[in-house]
Amino acid sequence: MNRNPRLSNLQFLVLGTLLQGARAGREIREALRRYGVKRSGPGFYQLMARLEESDLVEGSYNQKIVEGQIIRERTYRLRVPGRTAWNQSRKFNETVIAEFGTSRA
C-alpha cells in the first residue's frame, strides 16, 4: 500500500505548480486563484515559508526593474524532497481512486 506523505491539498497544488520549473510567488498565486484558492499576500508567504522550512521548496530573491523601480521578487523552486512528496501523494490518491472508484452517494 502507498503511504500518504501528509500533504494538504493546498500544498499538493503549490508543489504541482513547481514541477516544471521555478516560479515567482505571483505566478504561483495566479495558479492558485485558477483553482479557486484565495490567499492574502501574508498568508501565501507564510505557506511558502513553511514549505521552505520543511525542505520541500527553496526560495530566493531576484531583482528586476519595472517602470524604473527596482523590485525584489521572491522565486521558488521545487527541491528533491518536495518532488518526492508530490509523487507519493499523487500515487496515494491514484491508489485510493482505483480501489474505491468514482461511486456517487
Summarize the confidence of residues 3-32 as an average pLDDT. Answer: 92
The topology (CATH level 3) of 9-83 is Arc Repressor Mutant, subunit A (1.10.10)
Give the rounded percent of residues in the chain with a pLDDT score beyond 70.
91
Write out the DSSP string of 2-46: PPP----HHHHHHHHHTTTS-EEHHHHHHHHHHTT----HHHHHH
Residue 83: CA count within 13 A, CB half-sphere: 10
> Mean pLDDT across the chain, nearest whole number?
91
pLDDT category at 40 given cuts 50, 70, 90 is confident
Question: The pTM is what?
Answer: 0.85
Tally of CB atoms within 10 A around 81: 13
pLDDT in tens, 72-83: 999 999 999 999
Q: Which residue reads 508543489 in cell numbers? A: 15
pLDDT category at 2 given cuts 50, 70, 90 is low
